[in-house]
Amino acid sequence: MKNKKTAVLMSMILILSLVAAFGLRSFMAPCIHEDGSFGSCHWAGEALFGLSLLMAGQAILGLFLARGRREFFLCIFCDAILGVCLPGLLIRLCTMATMRCQSIMKPGVWVLMILMGGFSLTGFFLPGSSQGKERKGKT
Amino acid sequence: MNLKKLPLLNLKRNPGRTLALVLLTAVLSFSIFGGTVVVSSLRRGLGSLTERLGADIIVVPSQAQSKVSFQDIFLQGTVGAFYMSRENLTRTLEVEGVEKAAAQVFLASLKADCCSIRIQVIGIDPETDFVIRPWLEKSGSRGLKDMDVVVGTKVGAEVGETLRIYEERCHVAGKLAPTGTGLDSAVYCNMSTMKKLLSAAEAKGISHKVSSDDEDVVSAIYVKVKEGYDIGKVNSAIQGHTRKASAIRTRSMITDVSSSLLAISRVILGLIGAIWGMGFLLLFLAFAMIARERQQEFALLRVLGSTKKALKGLIRKEAFLCCLSGGFVGIGLACLLVFPFQTLIEMSLSLPYLIPEPSGLFLIALGALGASVASGFASSAFAAWRLSQADPGRLLRQG
């Protein structure tokens, strides 16, 4: 039952990370300029896209490798913190708060990363997440 | 068994039912908190606009009404520029009843070094200005020297940093407090800096409607009317005395915004009411169904010696725990949407939008939480009463 709960949390993380990855290529994509050039927000978008795919990968592994699920939750939590820090703090975005990267990409990523961070933290502290290890110890 | 722990144990035993109740209350608190924050932000934005305008009349070129509207620059931060003769400033000052008048020059389409952003640059005369200067003083900046700029809160440059506009390095001398208006995305400088920026733009082959040699143009004249004079009459006098210019009463501009705000507020408050009503009805039905489902459980508790009051208390405690956690979840989710996306909300509404102070937000959150808990209590009251009135013997015999 507890293992089922962690699986549900991991599935939620998988869905959210895929939404983030898809969003960064569509409705949350950073500013596009008329002349085809791009600013630093473009690289923030690329880094976040990569991070989202990494989190999706970790969530898939966490779903199938029930034994190490707790460790995967911890990894995803660290990724989520990185995801919050990336736009604006680690990689500068555009000057104006009204621009797409500041008004859509950053808050959108923040919301998704906070939700994923919350789910991963819950999963980490759920007793069921370390069930695999306990089972291993007993055998 | 400790009866005090029973409500919590009941909730834990039925996670599906508990989750449904928590989610239902979360919807209630989400709509109340989110909607109230948006409406309060709009009201605060209007207050800020009234305070920020600081003038009774604004004189703008007649073209400003048809091309890029002055109101759009002020409310939405649309980048635009329009010019009229500086002679209008002298003419305005000549009108009886005018206490003071200050001119501003707008410059559009200047591109900063980052992301090719268009910035609205507003040139002011620090000696005569009475609109921006009080805000500059509030922000702690020590006046505008040459090549100094003061930026609005939405311009991503901090005090002490350098903002490059047309390869000209401008020192950021101050950052204004948020106003919730389009002026948050503007950059302010003195007239001398404005001239240098224009020259820099011209050197790059970008022509503007106003040249750096052309000192006899202004974009807007802010007028303060003497006390005791009728603003309407002074407005008409300015209108007749100036050339190719329109005098706008700031009050009429605020009335326009106020009526739009009222319409949006009504829609939002109507939505909150509808969601709250539906949520309350659903909660009522949910508690009524739960009460029916748990009749035997409560009959057994009555047989074991629980009083009617204790049973009522048990249901109320369960409702309280569900509604409290649901309230927190709803407020948390609303915070995740309303605060990070405030710029997007402001841009979508095209109205002044200023998030309330933390103390105000705390009160709204407390109100939303209280409303959620109260609705939980109210909707569970009938169920609690019905269960306490039922005959335990009859219920147990029915099986």
Same domain for B357 and B392 = yes
Domain boundaries, chain A: 2-26+43-124
Which of A2, A33, A96 has the highest number of chain B CBs within 10 A, making it the mutation to test binding with B?
A96
The pairing of strands B186-190 and B148-151 is: antiparallel
Q: Show the tokens assigned to A124.
A: 């980490």
The residues, ordered by sequence, that sit 6+ positions from A84 with a Cβ below 8 Å of its Cβ are A109, A110, A113, A114, A117
CA dist list (Å): B26 to B212, B361, B374: 59, 18, 13
Interface contact A94-B114, CB threshold 8 A = yes
* Same domain, residue pair B217 and B299: no
Q: Which of B336, B337, B347 sits opposite A103 (nearest CB)?
A: B347
Rg of chain B over all Cα atoms, to the nearest angstrom? 30
**Cβ of A31 under 8 Å from any chain B Cβ?**
yes
pLDDT one-digit tens code per residue, B373-399: 898 888 888 888 877 777 777 767 766
**β pairing state of B186-190 and B118-124:** parallel
Token pair for B303: 């047989």
The Cα A80–Cα B66 span in angstroms is 49
Q: Are B132 and B208 in contact (CB under 8 A)?
A: no
Tell me the C-alpha distance between B89 and B59, whole Å: 9
Residue B30 falls within a domain, yes or no? yes
Minimal CA–CA distance to B235: which of B255, B218, B220, B250?
B250
Nearest CA in chain A to B178: A97
State both tokens at B111.
């591109």
C-alpha torsion B192→B197→B202→B207, nearest 10: -100
DSSP letters, B240-277, are HHSSSEEEEEHHHHHHHHHHHHHHHHHHHHHHHHHHHH
Q: Are residues B150 and B234 in the same domain?
A: yes
Give pLDDT tens digits for B102-152: 888 887 655 555 445 577 888 888 888 888 877 777 776 667 788 888 888
Please answer yes or no on whether B155 and A97 come within 8 Å at the CB atom: yes
Q: What is the mean pLDDT of residues B87-106?
A: 88
Asked whether residue B275 falls in the same domain as residue B390, the answer is: yes
**Non-local CB neighbours of B245 within 8 Å, separated by 6+ positions:** B59, B60, B61, B62, B84, B88, B221, B239
- Tell me how far apart the 2 most distant CA atoms of chain B are, in Å: 101
- Interchain pair B112, A102: CB under 8 A: no
Residue finishing a domain among B190, B212, B243: B243
Which conformational region is residue B356 in: left (phi greater than 0), alpha (psi within -120 to 50 degrees), or beta?
beta
C-alpha pair distances (Å), B224 with each of B89, B189, B221, B245? 13, 22, 10, 17
Say yes or no to pLDDT of A134 above 80: no
- From its phi and psi, is residue B172 left (phi > 0), alpha (psi between -120 and 50) or beta? beta
Task: Determine, for residues A107 and B153 on separate chains, whether the beta-carbon distance falls below 8 Å.
Answer: no
Q: What are phi and psi of B151, to 5 degrees?
A: -105, 150
Domain count, chain B: 2
Residues B201 and B142 both lie in one domain:
yes
Chain B nearest C-alpha distance from A127 (Å): 16
Q: A101: which 2 tokens?
A: 């990267």
Interface contacts (A, B; CB < 8 Å): 68
- List the single residue in A31, A103, A104 with the smallest CB-CB distance to B115: A31
Given B189, B209, B243, which residue is the final one in a domain?
Answer: B243
DSSP B19-77: HHHHHHHHHHHHHHHHHHHHHHHHHHHHHHHHHHH--SEEEEETHHHHSS-HHHHHHH-
Interface of A with B in 61-90 (CB under 8 A): none
In a domain, B226, yes or no: yes
Among candidates A84, A61, A68, A50, which has minimal Cα distance to A11?
A: A61
Q: State which of B173, B208, B243 marks the end of a domain.
A: B243
**Residue B344 shares a structural domain with residue B311:** yes
Residues B327-362: pLDDT tens digits? 999 999 999 999 999 989 988 888 888 899 999 999
Residues near B299 by beta carbon (within 8 Å), at least 6 away in sequence: B390, B392, B393, B395, B396
Nearest residue in chain A measured CA to CA from B77: A98
Cβ count within 10 A of residue B245? 24
Q: How far apart are the C-alpha atoms of B212 and B194, rounded to whole Å? A: 8
B224 with B94, same domain: the answer is yes
Q: In a 10 Å sphere around its CB, with 0-12 CB exposed, 13-18 middle and 19+ buried, how is residue B287 labelled?
A: buried
Q: Is B336 on the interface with A (CB under 8 A)?
A: yes
Chain A partners of B179 at a C-beta cutoff of 8 Å?
Answer: none
Alpha-helical segments (H) within B294-307: 295-303
Q: Looking at per-residue confidence, does B206 or A28 come out higher?
A: A28
Q: Answer whether residue B356 is part of any domain.
A: yes
CA B157 to each of CA A7, B150, B151, B184: distance values in angstroms, whole numbers, following the listed order: 44, 10, 7, 12
Cα–Cα nearest to A116, from A23, A30, A2: A23
Q: Are residues B14 and B103 in the same domain?
A: no
CA distance B195 to chain A (A): 23
Residues of A in contact with B345 (CB under 8 A): none
End-to-end CA distance of chain B: 24
Task: Check residue A137 and give its pLDDT.
Answer: 45
Domain shared by B239 and B261, yes or no: no
Of the given ranges (A125-129, B41-45, B65-69, B177-181), which has the lowest mean pLDDT? Answer: B65-69
In a domain, B57, yes or no: no
Please name the residues between 79 and 108 in chain B that touch chain A, using a CB distance below 8 Å.
none
Residue among B115, B157, B336 whose CB faces A99 most closely: B115
Residue, of B298 and B172, whose pLDDT is higher:
B172
What gap in Å lies between CA B389 and CA B382, rounded to an integer? Answer: 11
Residue A136: its pLDDT value, please? 46
Bridge partner list, B100: B224
Chain A residue with minimum CA distance to B182: A98
What is the reported pLDDT for B77? 60
- pLDDT at residue A117, rounded to an integer: 95
Q: Output the CA torsion B281→B283→B284→B286 (10° steps).
A: 120
Residue B369 pLDDT level (bands cut at 50, 70, 90): very high
Q: Are strands B217-218 and B84-85 parallel, antiparallel or unpaired?
A: antiparallel
Q: How far apart are CA A10 and CA A124, in angstroms?
A: 11
Give the domain extent around B196.
Answer: 63-243
More confident residue, B31 or B392: B31
Look over chain B and give the mean of its residue pLDDT values, rounded to a whole number: 82
Specify the pLDDT at position B3.
Answer: 66
CA distances from B258 to B42, B244, B252, B262, B351 (A): 9, 28, 10, 6, 9
Report pLDDT digits (tens) over A24-68.
999 999 877 666 677 788 899 999 999 999 999 999 999 888 777
B208, pLDDT greater than 90: no
Lowest mean pLDDT among A3-17, A123-137, B241-255: A123-137
Reported as a single tens digit per residue, the pLDDT across B277-326 is 888 888 888 888 887 777 777 778 777 877 878 878 888 888 888 899 99
Q: Measured between alpha carbons, how far is B96 from A128 in angstroms, rounded to an integer?
A: 81
Q: In the structure encoding, which two tokens stand for residue B352, read together?
A: 């002044």
Same domain (yes/no): B339, B302:
yes
User: ipTM score here?
Assistant: 0.81
pLDDT computed for residue A139 by the predictor:
37
3-state helix, strand, coil in chain A (%, to 5): 75, 0, 20
Residues in CB range of B266: below 8 A, 6 or more apart: none
User: Is A110 part of the contact surface with chain B (CB cutoff 8 Å)?
Assistant: yes
- Please tell me the least confidently modeled range out of B4-8, B75-79, B125-129, B198-202: B75-79
Pair (B121, B193) in one structural domain = yes
Q: Is residue B161 pLDDT above 80, yes or no?
A: yes
pLDDT digits (tens, 9 = 90+) for A75-125: 999 999 999 999 988 998 887 888 889 899 999 999 999 999 999 999 998
> B interface mutation test: which of A91, A98, A105 has the most B CBs within 10 A?
A98
Mean local confidence (pLDDT), B17-34: 90
Read off the amino acid at residue B348: S
Distance between CA atoms of residues B185 and B328, nearest Å:
34
